[in-house]
Amino acid sequence: MRAFIERLLSRPWFGPLGALLAVYLLFAGLRPDTFAHAGNLEMMARQTVVVAICAVGMTLIMIKGGIDLSVGSVVALTTVVVARGLQAGLSPWTAAALGVAAAASCGALNGILVAGLRITPFIVTLGTMSIMRGVAKGLAGEQKIDANAAGLDEWMAILPPEYGFLVVSPGVWLALGLSALAAGALVYTRYGRHIVAIGSNERAARLCGVPVARVTVMTYALAGVLAGMAGVMEFGTLTVGDPTDSLGLELEVIAAVVIGGGSLSGGQGSIAGSLLGALLMTVIKTGCTHVGVPNWVQEILTGVIIVVAVALDRWRQQPRQSSSAH
């Protein structure tokens, strides 16, 4: 029994799960009639989808020891590409595919610049963040683009009664499916072990024959694909292409990964933890609205919770590390 508890505690997602439950129970206690309502739970899941899908890609990048600041711009660019595609008369699937392809090329570009120019990913993606935002604005003619959502909005809408068996919107299932795939790849594939190896010690990995450049480009491209899918979901929510959308999304995504046990120095992180981190932030946001906390307090509170969550997680892991060293 004791061994079981010890094992449970050692899981990287255990800390964020505890924090999520604590915060959830707090708000549910304060507003039992509305906050704990099933409709509210479904809505919170829906509002987490975009951050969650981006966080899956960011987790892969951060485990590899990188970072991607351009993700918000890429999401905005995707909504514009999808809207432009629909405007041009493409079918919704083709338009969505086009959006994902655009985002994937942005990701690949990030990867090529990081691997090829040997510039730190922070600088590269700081640059591409601005470049992609500019491209999005140019493509949109500096305004929001109206397009017939043609069913793409259904991915993020409240389920119509006849689809009640799905329980949550298709977008939520998409996020969960992509997470499961990524988590599986991380543990069971050679690629997954390569990125952990690079993130833990890049030089050692290189000496062991890990194709660092190829894995790097692939990781950023993969994150690009995920950002593209998140962008399609964002378009489903907005139903317009908005080049100014998702400003600062990258920080929210990085926060989710870090709360979930990821480290800016690489080698650490878990998909499940990142999802819980993303959900935690949605719960705080929604809870503050339900309780009626003004915006400025909410912003302070979110920042405090990020720092405290990560600090506690590090503190929790300390004794384990020192005891394993014995």
Interface positions with another protein (CB under 8 A): 5-6, 9, 15, 18-19, 21-23, 26-27, 30-31, 34, 37, 39-40, 43, 46-47, 50, 142-144, 146, 153, 157-158, 234, 237-240, 242, 244-248, 285-286, 288-295, 297-299, 301, 304-305, 308, 312, 315-316, 319
Task: Give the C-alpha separation, 52 to 58, whole Å.
Answer: 10
Instruction: Specify the residue, 60 or 69, whose C-beta has the smaller distance to another protein.
Output: 69
Work out how close the CB of 199 gets to another protein at its nearest, in angstroms, rounded to a whole number. 26
Between 204 and 308, CB nearer to another protein: 308
Rank residues 154 and 202 by Cβ distance to another protein and give the closer one: 154
- C-alpha 238/C-alpha 230 separation (Å) is 12
User: Residue-wise over 245-279: b if at least 16 C-beta within 10 A, else e?
Assistant: bbeebbebbbbbbbbbbbbeebbbbbbbbbbbbbb
Smallest gap from Cβ 165 to another protein, in A, equals: 20
d(CA 143, CA 160): 32
Whole-number minimum distance, CB 123 to another protein, in Å? 25
Q: How far is the CB of 285 from another protein (least distance, A)?
A: 8
Minimal distance, residue 62 CB to another protein, in Å: 23
* Backbone angle region of 89, left / alpha / beta, with phi > 0 → left and psi within -120 to 50 → alpha: left
Nearer to another protein, 34 or 130 (CB): 34
Q: How many CB atoms lie within 10 A of CB 195?
A: 30
